[in-house]
Structure 1
């Protein structure tokens, strides 16, 4: 099911800052610009892939999208309703419909509780089911994610990493959500297990009519699962567009460098792809560069890039780039 006119999720100039400093004094405290001026739309039924280097703000943005973090500035809208400043009580109706799968299944599951109880918890908190109906629903969820009924009485340490992630997925879909944010759901797994989880997520999306925001640093996985891709650098979106269009012809210099690093099998003599090596280190979000945040490492940067920050603007239908000199 692909898109309607109104996005299921939308951010407008969303920002998240963290204040750091000494424990006992506010003097000398500094701001970490973790997410800055992010505007995105997610259409119902699609998978939006979010990629970028480690530390670029992907996980922080994920937690903002499901309101696990309070938002410093901008707006977050779910089906057109502004949920940016809603209280915990005000967010309660949205928790059923907006869920998250975390990166590390070992850290996201309480080791002292049986996994059946962990999956049942959202049903007890948000549902109106009796004890028997909850038990039946948990068994049904385990079957959906490829686990056995007798697994419900086991503890997380009795499972493999892939099985623990299946438990996390079962918990996320327990309340029949509309949108699931997946924060690097396969990065902690072996390659063969990654493929199984990716296939499971695709099957669940089709069966349950889910919408995904899929966050990863593995571009090969993102290309496989995503309809659209947003590329993130130092807290901001620098490029957005249809998956195949971005991969086949990236328009931002940072996107070009990322995609050039993806391993490929060369099938023709002399057809080797040029590898783009970026100079320097990623700047600190404590003190981001003026102008374009990428300009200190950009191979095509000019004087304008250091003083003027480019806006994320549409250059072609569905292709947005935040660059003064995009190759589009």
Structure 2
């Protein structure tokens, strides 16, 4: 059953930073001042080039990584600095699906044993300890949810294809009936046809269970298919945020426009535009001013001197650009 509606966002992030200390006093700003909200029942797509901080942000949202500064509220409660012990009651309600479906599963343990772990660790909703029969019944329900046969429970990870293993990882994330799932590039390692099947599974599960997703991806076609809103990241920060159709059909930030131009077009005789020029600057020594100005084809002097804030462009859309393409 879908989760009950709440008067506040399911996830609320304010000025979030994740910084890593490096030798010789250097600092790597993996997440650099991100603020966003995720409402119950929506799918927020998180896109950008490799190394922009998407996966780090996803792990911070679930407190799999400690944050350097900022605030994370989950269902109205501040979880930013909670200890592992204090976080334990929140763990069943927020789960993650990782990119590497094989590395996420212990090859020495059978699938039933792997999926039963969270059910053994966390009590039932009424506070009682789950019995072996109730655990087995839940495992059978999970197999049905992800469209795998019950016999899959008696096998090992190496006996499955990549798509089947990802279904198992999704089943494990669903075991405790979470509210929020962060999916970190869950289809990037799969064949195109299998990608479509897994994305459809995510969509079906959301409709059936009332789930909320933060869906990390670099494939804009995947993001367009599943997301209701999209956040475009560049060099640790969000540069554009809004409803998926609006952002992807009429980009306001030059970086979003460049990403859209790079999407292959199937039309016969279609001319592919030149790739985005320049290299991504190092997050250790980010350029002054706009973080995109070293690669922006429309750069002006203000861009080199002043960093643009993420500001509203419309009531449902924000962009961090002094000269947005859409006004």
Q: TM-score, normalised by structure 1?
A: 0.94
Counterpart residue number, 2:96: 100
Partner of residue 19, structure 1: 21
2: CA distance, partners of 1:145 / 1:60: 27
Find the residue that maps to 1:37 and give its secondary structure. Answer: strand
CA offset at residue 5 of structure 1?
Answer: 4.8
- Contact 2:47–2:216, Cα closer than 8 Å, also in 1: yes
- Greater shift in the superposed pair: 136-145 or 247-256: 136-145
Question: Within 5 Å, which residues of 2 pair with 1:26-41?
Answer: 28-41=24-37
> Any gaps of 5 or more consecutive residues in structure 2?
124-128
In structure 1, what is the equivalent of residue 277 of structure 2?
279
Q: Map residues 237-316 of structure 1 onto 2, 5 A cutoff.
A: 237-266=238-267, 275=273, 277-316=275-314
**How big is each residue's C-alpha offset from its partner over 1:25-81, in whole Å with a ceiling of 9 and x where there is no partner?**
xxx142111010011110110100000001110000010011000000111111121
Separation in 2, partners of 1:9, 1:305: 32
Match of 1:232 in 2: 233
- In 1: Cα distance, 2:207 partner to 2:318 partner: 28
8 A contact 1:257–1:276 mirrored in 2: no
| Post-superposition CA distance 1:157-211 (Å, at most 9, x none) | 1111001000100000100000100000000111111111111111111111100
Judge conservation of contact 2:52–2:234 (CA < 8 Å) in 1: yes
- 1:24 is matched with which residue? none
| Stretch of structure 1 that moved more, 41-50 or 126-135 | 126-135
Question: Does the alignment pair 1:52 with 2:48?
Answer: yes
Structure 1 residue 93: deviation in Å?
1.1
Q: Structure 2: how far apart are the matches of 1:53 and 1:188?
A: 16
- Quote the residue 2:224 is aligned against: 223
CA distance in 2, matches of 1:246, 1:137: 40
Task: Give 1:264 deviation, angstroms.
Answer: 2.5
Summarize the alignment of residues 130-169 of structure 1 with structure 2, pairs less than 5 Å apart: 130-169=131-170
> Does the Cα contact within 8 Å between 2:265 and 2:272 map onto a contact in 1?
no
Q: Aligned to 2:242, what secondary structure does the other structure show? A: strand
Contact 2:49 2:234 in 1 (8 A): yes
For these two proteins, the number of residue pairs brought into alignment is: 319
Q: Quote the Cα distance in structure 1 between the aligned partners of 2:272 and 2:219.
A: 19
- Deviations along 1:203-250, one digit per CA (max 9) or x if unpaired, are 111111100111100000100100000000010000001100011100
Structure 2 SS opposite 1:96: helix
Q: What CA distance in whole angstroms lies between the structure 1 residues aligned with 2:223 and 2:138?
A: 31
Distance in 1 between residues matched to 2:281 and 2:161, nearest whole Å: 37
Distance apart, 1:277 and its partner CA:
3.2
